[in-house]
Structure 1
Amino acid sequence: MLSRVKYQIELFLLSLSFFSRIPVPASVPYSTERMNQSGRYFSLVGLLLGLICYGVYSVFLLVLPEHISVLLMICVSLLLTGAFHEDGLTDMADGIGGGMTTERRLEIMKDSRIGTYGASALIMALAVKYSVLSYLALHTSMLQVLLVGYALSRAIAASLIYDMPYVSDSNTSKSKPLASRQTIYELGILLFFGIISCIGLGLSILMIMGCVCFLLRFGLKWWLLRRIGGFTGDCLGGVQQIMELTIYLVLAASMAS
């Protein structure tokens, strides 16, 4: 029993090391199989990052107004993740926006340089995130907002691994360890922590959130299959960012109505 618990903790630490810049013990065992299995804790990593960002926001709020605290919190969030998901968004936007064929789109995604589509997507994503979070900071609990935004968006993004083919060159991709399909057990863990983050939302908001997230996931899956035939690691990052922004917008809309 203890060995099983230890194994799961090690998987979580691997997930934390892959999806964030938070240091983990060097003694944590690594293998391709373990790295693939660690994806089940992506949404749990999101919960931890949400808690940390809320703590940072609360400290800044002691001496600064809400909108400045939100801006600084976003900066800290970028440092915590190494802008990992934002990088995926820019690469996805450049590749799918700039390529005329599937092969060309995938080739552009591998290019480390940022283009017009990627720069535009990144600027607009950060601007919308700052604007919506600044509004939410004045009207509701930022703890709930950040937990839902960070955990649920990661759960939905990583769930694409379950029912979509991986189309990048797995020999050179940084997401190679996550390329294998998820089991239903791993998908269940992933979604469990995403759903847990929604506890505290009103029933009406919860139902609207569920419908919007389901439809957006379906739409993004269809779009990616049409454009590149599956997903890449960059696409998972891009979907996470789109889902996070959508979650904030749904919460803001519920406050405004």
Structure 2
Amino acid sequence: MKKILLAFQFLTIIPLKDTGESPAKDVGSATVYFPVVGIIEGSLLSVLAWLLLKVFPGEITSGLVLFAMVLVNGVLHLDGLSDTFDAIASREDTERKLSIMKDSTIGPAGVTAIVLVLLLQYLLLNALFFYSSLAVYYSGLLLMPVISRCTMVWAIFHCRSARQGGLGRMFIEHTGLRELITATALTVVACFVTLGVIAEYELLAFHLMFVLPVLYFFSVSAVWFFHKHFGGMTGDSFGAVYEIAVLLFLLSRILWVQKFT
């Protein structure tokens, strides 16, 4: 239970019981429960969308759902995304890039990255609503953070730390094969339960044979990229991975709707 609370504290601003000081191992291995955080986030987004659609049209609902996503995450991942793109755009050496990532000042590349990602997420959420059945739409909102959180765990497992300290290093050092397998299993179970309840068995197969493999490949590719350009990954890197994973998940869902239904 403590690790679940730790995972919530790191990834969201949802007010939960303060766990106090925790051993580095407990903190680092809390990654095993990242998909559980995603399940709660996704459930909240689905219920919120259901309530909003009783009052507002789809376009406004998509915007408010996106706002809720950003709010629940405390803008943490968008901050990591902007820091990452500022560092990439600098074209400096590794040490300078890492220094830029720690700088609290946001540059033009970071602003552009945030605007583009939020715009694309809004457009894709809108498309998912207008071109899907309501059951498929709600299931997408539920599974989106689950699978995106799991993508973070995959990246953490495969990478090395770019820094000597920090929370990112703690996650990397204590995320082993057990955490990887458990997080993946929780994600697969979430897919089975969510899509099984609405009897979308073809969509379930699509997730297992396409969506999850694509996002796993993305996580490994991201690790390779960050190792090449930064010498490893940081907490900011994981935030960028999450935001891009959300985009890839939504793109996959739109592909399903357009090509297989």
- TM above 0.5, yes or no, is yes
> What is the root-mean-square deviation in Å for CA atoms of aligned residues?
1.7
1:43 positional shift: 1.4
Asked whether 1:194 is paired with 2:187, we answer yes
1:14-163 equivalence runs, <5 A: 14-26=6-18, 30-138=22-130, 139-140=132-133, 141-163=136-158
The answer to whether structure 1 residue 251 and structure 2 residue 253 are counterparts is yes
Conserved 8 A contact 2:147-2:187:
yes
Instruction: Tell me if the contact between 2:159 and 2:232 (Cα under 8 Å) persists in the aligned partners.
Output: yes
Among all aligned residue pairs of Structure 1 and Structure 2, give the percentage whose two residues are the same amino acid: 26
May I ask how many residue pairs the two structures share in their alignment?
Answer: 247
Aligned residue number for residue 6 of structure 1: none
Compute the displacement of 1:125 (Å).
Answer: 0.5
Which of 182, 188, 206 aligns to 2:175? It is 182
Deviations 1:39-91 (A, max 9, x none): 21111101110111111111111100111011111111211110111111111
**Contact kept? 2:78, 2:114, Cα under 8 Å:** yes
Cα distance in structure 1, aligned partners of 2:147 and 2:184 = 8
**Matched residue SS, 2:162:** coil
Q: Which runs of 4+ in 1 moved over 3 A?
A: 173-177
Give the aligned partner of residue 242 of structure 1: 244
Contact 1:147–1:197 under 8 Å retained in 2? no
Return the match for 1:13 from 5, 19, 25. 5
Evaluate the alpha carbon distance shift between residue 104 and residue 197 of structure 1 in structure 2; reply closer, same or farther with a 3 A threshold: same
Which whole-Å deviations, capped at 9, do the CAs of 1:131-161 have from their partners, x for residues lacking one? 0111111213222112221011111112222
Match of 1:227?
A: 229
In structure 1, C-alpha distance between the alignment counterparts of 2:64 and 2:43, rounded to whole Å: 15
TM norm structure 1: 0.90
Question: Helix, strand or coil for the counterpart of 1:197?
Answer: helix
Provide the C-alpha distance between the structure 2 equivalents of 1:209 and 1:26, rounded to a whole number of angstroms.
Answer: 35
**Structure 1 contact 49–150 (Cα < 8 Å) conserved:** yes
Q: Distance in 2 between matches of 1:48 and 1:204?
A: 23
C-alpha contact 2:157 2:172 (8 A) present in aligned 1? no
Q: Is the 8 A contact 2:3 2:27 kept in 1?
A: yes
TM-score, normalised with respect to structure 2: 0.88
Consecutive unaligned residues of structure 1, counting only runs of 5 or more, are 1-8
- Could you tell me how far 1:119 is from its partner in structure 2? 0.8
